[in-house]
Structure 1
Amino acid sequence: MRIRKPSSINLRQLILLLAVFSAAVMLAGGMAGAYQVQRQQLVANTLDANEAFAVKLARIMSDLLLRTQGNLSYSGGLMVRSGMAPAVLQAEVDRLRHLELGFNTVTVVDGQGVVQAFSPASRNLKGRRLDSVARNGIGDDRAPMISPPYVTVLGNLAIRLSHPLLGPEGRSLGRLSATVYLRDEGGLQRLIGEQYFRDGTYVYVVDAQGRLLYHPQAERIGEIVVNNPVIDTVRKGRSGQMELTNSRDVDMLAGYAYVPTADWGVVVQRPTELALKGLNDLMLRVLQLAVWPALVLLVLLWLLSRWISRPLGELSQIVQDGYEDGMARRIAAVKCWYLEAQRLRGALLAGQGQVRTRLGELHSAAHTDPLTKLGNRRGLEAALRILEERRQPFALVALDIDFFKRINDRHGHDAGDQVISGLADLMRAHARQGDALFRLGGEEFLVVLPDSDLAGAKMIAERLRAAMESARVLGNETVTLSAGVAVWEGGDAQLTLKIADQALYRAKESGRNRVEAGGP
């Protein structure tokens, strides 16, 4: 039997290792807990701030759009009351163009789509009839409106706010409209750009289709964003906050708010990485502060471990020195001040005469399968080693119960144990004197046949197979087994065992309930 090399770690070292490990685990757990708490707090604060900012911007936009629509309504009233006088029309479109939203163009068209006034005047569109493209976003209804984004005849991405011009009896006299270019300075660019943003925080605005109306990267304005949960949510008219991975696979902390006036959504977000940027430095400072208390604790643990381990160390040294005259006196002289050491000292004093007997019992149990009382794998290794050393010829029969898992599944493990015990009884009944029987685990068995050739081993294997088939070890149900046979021809016995296993595998693959021989 192979004897392991004695451990070089003593009890005192183990106590120290356990204490240090426990302290390290507690420190790591505390640090991890603190990190998670701080992380959650930072994330929550960032989400709350972004949501509050988004709500604020949404309110500002809504108020601004309402004021702008009010200005359009006021100017439209002046135009109608003036009888659509050209001077009044031009004065109002010039005035409207310089309001706080920052319109790029302001237009008055009559009912036939002919431009009656236009600002800036440098464009000289007065008197022209607008085609369907140029009229995009003006609207034909009789109510104020904010258009979806569209591309102007000059290729600008724009939105248009418009107001109907209605005569005394509700007769349509035309429409007043104002255009904001989304990619130009002014409009949304000016409104949002004037806000203060902390490091990494940015804002974007989307319409009901998920199209970007504002974004700090101007080239993305007009892009329709997909696979972004915060945009999908705000398009449904909701406001709130969310942790998400955006359409560019970046983790974000987002607050969002709905702008009901225009059916838009405002999203304020910050990359999670930037929000947590200072957290690692904070944790490092906390760890540095914990170093000195940890060193003091280690010194105390070192002294305490020496005190605890001394009685057991003395007892182990006595045992290592071996049984001798005066051993009991040496054991009794050890100062055992805690319960476990006292019990160990008592057991050593009481058990000197029982050790050899107990060791023999343990050795026997270690080589026997508890269910079948056959040898186990450890016993097989010992038997093969003896046969190898003696150079005594032998054959191996590897056995495996067919469909054993099905038996367990159908009838339960008690029935499986019954089948295993039945096969073990059959093996004992058909074994020759000197044969060695083993259960290697589960439904796997092995017979070692000293001084047997291949033909004799196949005959015994076939006899066992037939006996199992007719034995009815499971009531009226037939249980079969497969077998593989191999003969040792010198060399490593483990190779012979492998050949027998391969033969058993062929028997299984060839239909089960059969015997196959291994080897050349």
Structure 2
Amino acid sequence: MKKILTTHKVSLATLLSILVSVSVISTLLILAISTYHLTKESLTSTYLALNYSKVEKMSHSVDSLFISMRTHLESTADFLERREEMTDQEIHEQLELLRSSSGYFNSLSWVDEMGIIRVNSPGGIGLEGTKIISGNTKDVLDARMPMLTTPYVGPSNQLLILMSHPIFSKDGTYRGIIGGTIYLQKENALNQILDNEASDNSGSHYYVVGPNGILLFHPQSQRIGENFDEHSLVRKIEEGQSGKEIATNVIGVSMLSAYSYVPEAGWGIVQQTPYSFVENLLLVELQQLLMRALVPFLLLLLLSIFIARKLAAPFNRLGTLVNQLAEGKPILQSEKEVLKEAHWNREADLLTKSVGMAFETIERNNQQLTQSAQTDSLTGLLNRRNLDEVLSVWSEEGRLFSLLVLDIDYFKSVNDTYGHQVGDQTLKMIAETLCTVSRKNDLCFRYGGEEFVILLPDTDSLSAYNVAEKIRRKVEKTSYIPNEILTVSIGISEYLKQTDSVTELFGFADSALYTSKVEGRNQITISSN
């Protein structure tokens, strides 16, 4: 333990920050857990109640609709019983009136006691005169009582139900049935009720099952006809129950479910909301809670850090500066000022002064070394090493620039005639000319011997030519050596337009310089590559 504490140092600021953070985070965790469970129970109860309220209203609407349908069929049957003398055409008109005015049924038929379809509305589909010998319609006909069939697939391959009412003559003789078909996947009054907000963005939806567990309505219409008989909620509906609970649907997803029995039809309506939606709401609530607590937490943390740093500030600042110095990192001017500050702590003040003196000595030496590494000792211009660094950066940036390679004509004769001391002085003076004539952002380098390089940022070769011409004229008109006229030859190349290779760029400029030399010197040539 002692070894660990010795090797792993903990600053005072860090220690206080950790203590405050642990305290606040522990409090937030307790609050978050409590809020989570309370909100979870509240949201679960709320959505179960909302779903149950909705499903009860839906169940009542569907039940009322079926009662109204049956009433209309019964009234039509009574009307026909009292008017036995009506012709088939008159009965067709009566059924067509009921179908078109109510919107309850997709079709209406009168099937006589022999099973022959006497009248069908809408007409024109060739069913009149057809005899029913089997199937659901035959069962209804034989029952001689009001009925509502379970859903079945009709001759049109559509899922439908048949609601019927018997017709008797005045003397009690059975005359057949009036039957109304309701297609579960076509437009009618039932589907208008069921299609109303069947689902929403939360994933909530409802579906309808028949007495045998067959899915009669679902927002995903392709699922209609599936058998839900094994689902626990459907079994409860088949027993005539209504209620609400958390249940797992047929694909294993936990849902907040409410279900209601429709007595008139023997159907069930189930309203469900994914439990994951409530969990997402809980997450949003927790996020809001944490966001509300974040500001006080940060303020408390900042206060603890501020107090701790005030206590350890002198030593921390000196330690940071010494580390930066040891790693060779640049020291900002504001950080240097720290070394001049007086401290109330005697040890900190003494240490600061000692470090300050050492820092000044090291910085002075570093500046001398840096200057020597980046500049030409004779001319004071940037040297070849610095040139390579600038070219590397500009090429990586894909920056437009032009390169001028400049050579002093017949400079060897200057050294041979006047000596190297005069030659060196001449190089210095020409370097001053380059710096004076070139633009503010242009960079001048001594490349070696009597050769110089100028980089012109954001400049094409034509604009670079204008700068080069000013330099050429200035050199030609300046008296560097009494009774001697010096001239320069210049080659120009342009980055990106001619090449994206720095090596090739130099080659093009050198070739252009060579052309200037061959064609008589004291000339400027733009590379044609």
Task: Give the TM interval when normalised to the shorter protein.
Answer: 0.5 to 0.7
Structure 1 stretches of 5 or more lacking a match? 307-520
Counterpart position of 1:287: 290
User: Does structure 2 retain, via aligned residues, the 8 Å contact 1:114–1:130?
Assistant: yes
User: Does structure 1 retain, via aligned residues, the 8 Å contact 2:115–2:138?
Assistant: no
**Is the alpha carbon distance of 1:304 and 1:65 closer, same or farther for their aligned partners in structure 2, counting shifts above 3 Å?**
same
154, 166, 189: which one aligns with 1:152:
154
**Is the alpha carbon distance of 1:138 and 1:38 closer, same or farther for their aligned partners in structure 2, counting shifts above 3 Å?**
same
95, 99, 109: which one aligns with 1:97:
99
Counterpart position of 2:166: 164
Displacement, 1:110?
A: 1.3
User: Does structure 2 retain, via aligned residues, the 8 Å contact 1:136–1:150?
Assistant: no
**Is the alpha carbon distance of 1:303 and 1:124 closer, same or farther for their aligned partners in structure 2, counting shifts above 3 Å?**
closer
User: Does structure 1 retain, via aligned residues, the 8 Å contact 2:82–2:170?
Assistant: no
Give, as a single letter, the amino acid of the residue that structure 2 aligns with 1:292.
V
After TM superposition, list the pairs within 5 Å mapping 1:209-288 onto structure 2: 209-288=212-291
Give the SS at the match of 1:253: strand
**Is the alpha carbon distance of 1:225 and 1:131 closer, same or farther for their aligned partners in structure 2, counting shifts above 3 Å?**
same
Give, as a single letter, the amino acid of the residue that structure 2 aligns with 1:291.
L
User: Does structure 2 retain, via aligned residues, the 8 Å contact 1:82–1:88?
Assistant: no
Give the SS at the match of 1:98: helix
Counterpart-to-counterpart distance in 2, 1:211 and 1:39: 33
Counterpart-to-counterpart distance in 2, 1:26 and 1:177: 70
Displacement, 1:182?
A: 1.4
Give the SS at the match of 2:142: coil
After TM superposition, list the pairs within 5 Å mapping 1:58-457 onto structure 2: 58-83=59-84, 85=86, 86-133=88-135, 135=137, 138-195=140-197, 198-199=200-201, 200-298=203-301
Give the SS at the match of 2:110: strand
Give, as a single letter, the amino acid of the residue that structure 2 aligns with 1:47.
L
Give, as a single letter, the amino acid of the residue that structure 2 aligns with 1:237.
G
Counterpart-to-counterpart distance in 1, 2:75 and 2:90: 13
Displacement, 1:244?
A: 1.8
Give, as a single letter, the amino acid of the residue that structure 2 aligns with 1:130.
I
Displacement, 1:11?
A: 12
Give, as a single letter, the amino acid of the residue that structure 2 aligns with 1:68.
M
Counterpart-to-counterpart distance in 1, 2:224 and 2:213: 11
Length-normalised TM-score, structure 2: 0.52
Counterpart position of 1:314: none
Structure 2 stretches of 5 or more lacking a match? 310-529
After TM superposition, list the pairs within 5 Å mapping 1:466-485 onto structure 2: none
User: Does structure 2 retain, via aligned residues, the 8 Å contact 1:227–1:246?
Assistant: no
Give the SS at the match of 2:166: strand
Larger radius of gyration: 2
Aligned residues: CA RMSD: 3.0
Does 2:5 align with 1:43?
no
Counterpart-to-counterpart distance in 2, 1:21 and 1:153: 73
Q: Deviations over 1:180-208 (max 9, x none)?
A: 11122335322211347542322211012
Give the SS at the match of 1:230: helix
Displacement, 1:283?
A: 2.4
Give, as a single letter, the amino acid of the residue that structure 1 aligns with 2:144.
R
Length-normalised TM-score, structure 1: 0.53
**Is the alpha carbon distance of 1:251 and 1:181 closer, same or farther for their aligned partners in structure 2, counting shifts above 3 Å?**
same
Q: Deviations over 1:100-147 (max 9, x none)?
A: 453122111111111121111112322221120372563522321110
User: Does structure 2 retain, via aligned residues, the 8 Å contact 1:106–1:118?
Assistant: yes
Counterpart-to-counterpart distance in 1, 2:89 and 2:20: 92
**Is the alpha carbon distance of 1:165 and 1:61 closer, same or farther for their aligned partners in structure 2, counting shifts above 3 Å?**
same
Give, as a single letter, the amino acid of the residue that structure 2 aligns with 1:194.
N
Give the SS at the match of 1:34: helix
Counterpart-to-counterpart distance in 1, 2:197 and 2:5: 73
Give the SS at the match of 1:103: coil
Give, as a single letter, the amino acid of the residue that structure 2 aligns with 1:238.
Q
Give, as a single letter, the amino acid of the residue that structure 1 aligns with 2:91.
L
- Between stretches 61-70 and 4-13, larger displacement belongs to 4-13
**Is the alpha carbon distance of 1:96 and 1:137 closer, same or farther for their aligned partners in structure 2, counting shifts above 3 Å?**
farther
Displacement, 1:273?
A: 2.6
Displacement, 1:154?
A: 2.3
**Is the alpha carbon distance of 1:188 and 1:203 closer, same or farther for their aligned partners in structure 2, counting shifts above 3 Å?**
farther
Counterpart-to-counterpart distance in 1, 2:294 and 2:263: 56
Give the total of aligned pairs. 305
Displacement, 1:57?
A: 0.7
**Is the alpha carbon distance of 1:232 and 1:18 closer, same or farther for their aligned partners in structure 2, counting shifts above 3 Å?**
farther
Counterpart-to-counterpart distance in 2, 1:261 and 1:30: 50
Displacement, 1:301?
A: 6.5
Counterpart position of 1:56: 57
Displacement, 1:236?
A: 1.9
Give, as a single letter, the amino acid of the residue that structure 1 aligns with 2:61.
I
User: Does structure 2 retain, via aligned residues, the 8 Å contact 1:139–1:145?
Assistant: no
User: Does structure 2 retain, via aligned residues, the 8 Å contact 1:229–1:246?
Assistant: no
Identical-pair percentage? 28
Displacement, 1:19?
A: 5.3
Give the SS at the match of 1:128: coil
Displacement, 1:42?
A: 2.4
Displacement, 1:305?
A: 10
Counterpart-to-counterpart distance in 2, 1:269 and 1:168: 51
Give, as a single letter, the amino acid of the residue that structure 2 aligns with 1:239.
S
User: Does structure 1 retain, via aligned residues, the 8 Å contact 2:210–2:216?
Assistant: yes
- Between stretches 113-122 and 63-72, larger displacement belongs to 113-122
Displacement, 1:5?
A: 4.9
Displacement, 1:258?
A: 0.7
Give, as a single letter, the amino acid of the residue that structure 2 aligns with 1:58.
S
**Is the alpha carbon distance of 1:30 and 1:3 closer, same or farther for their aligned partners in structure 2, counting shifts above 3 Å?**
closer
Displacement, 1:4?
A: 6.5
Counterpart position of 1:412: none
Give the SS at the match of 1:111: coil
User: Does structure 1 retain, via aligned residues, the 8 Å contact 2:70–2:163?
Assistant: yes
Counterpart position of 2:396: none
